[in-house]
């Protein structure tokens, strides 16, 4: 995957998806003000890179399982 132009996306590119802390690191990067501000102004190539990146790393993100509570 080629390096994106956006500095915020470059930070995502540097994350190690095999790290046990990956989901927390990804969350921290996506919640930075810089990333949030730049996300709305991504160029076509960077936007395509971002979607492709999220698609490729989505299998590394484990969502918590919460038991259903009876009423």
Length reported for the chain = 71
pLDDT at position 34 is 76
Q: Give the long-range contacts of residues 61-65, CB within 8 A, separation 24 or more.
A: 61/22, 61/23, 61/26, 62/23
The model's pLDDT over 8-64, given as tens digits with 9 standing for 90+, comes to: 788 888 888 888 888 888 888 888 877 777 777 888 888 888 888 888 887 655 555
């Amino acid at each position: 995957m080629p390096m994106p132009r956006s500095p915020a996306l470059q930070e995502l590119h540097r994350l190690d998806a095999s790290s046990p802390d990956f989901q927390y690191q990804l969350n921290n990067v996506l919640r930075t003000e810089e990333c949030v501000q730049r996300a709305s102004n991504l160029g076509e190539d960077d936007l395509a890179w971002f979607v492709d990146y999220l698609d490729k790393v989505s299998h590394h993100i484990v969502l918590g399982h919460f038991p259903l509570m009876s009423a």
